[in-house]
Amino acid sequence: MVRPDRDRSRAFDARARVRGPSRRRERALNTGRVYDLVGHVIGLLSLARPRRARGVTQYVSDRGLAFLILKRRGYSAITFGHVIVSLAPLTERGWRHELAHVGQYDRLGLRFIPLYLWHYSRVGYARHPFEREAEAESLDSTM
Ligand SMILES: [Zn+2]
């Protein structure tokens, strides 16, 4: 049995998903990757070993800078460019949340951190538009 409407929307979604990342890859210079350096410094000063997974570098640690930046402040993970530092291995939902931030860095480039801090100073964490987008994506298991 075929359900044309449903199949058409699936095909559309598949094309959108293919277009999104490939457009990012085609950019000559992804300035958001400049922040990778910050992530690597924090990861290494958290006494963690870098691991490659899902197209990013991940550091898992609850010591050193990860303790100061994350655990003491009640957060579980932070993303800089294509580097994710987390206190514990990420859940599937955690991956989707942090990878949404990776996509935001890809879209916004160097503007990510200033814009993040500007919104944070105005509305805090829970109402932060970048966090709301990442949360929405983390709940969407089709992403
Ligand atoms: Zn977040």
**100 Cα: distance to centroid of ligand 1 (angstroms):** 8
CA of 101 to the centre of ligand 1 (A): 7
Q: What is the pLDDT of residue 25?
A: 52
The CA 98 to ligand 1 mean position distance, Å, reads 6
pLDDT in tens, 18-49: 444 545 555 668 999 999 999 999 999 999 99
- The per-residue pLDDT for range 50-102, each reduced to its tens digit, is 999 999 999 999 999 999 999 999 999 999 999 999 999 999 999 999 999 99
Which residues have a Cβ under 8 Å from the Cβ of 72 and sit 6 or more positions away? Answer: none
CA of 60 relative to ligand 1 center, distance in Å: 16
Q: What's residue 141's pLDDT?
A: 74
CA 52 to each of CA 59, 96, 141: distance values in angstroms, whole numbers, following the listed order: 9, 16, 22
Element (H, E) at 100: helix 92-108
What is the distance between the alpha carbons of residues 90 and 77, in angstroms, rounded to a whole number? 8
C-alpha distances in Å from residue 69, one per residue of 21, 30, 44, 65, 125:
30, 26, 13, 6, 15
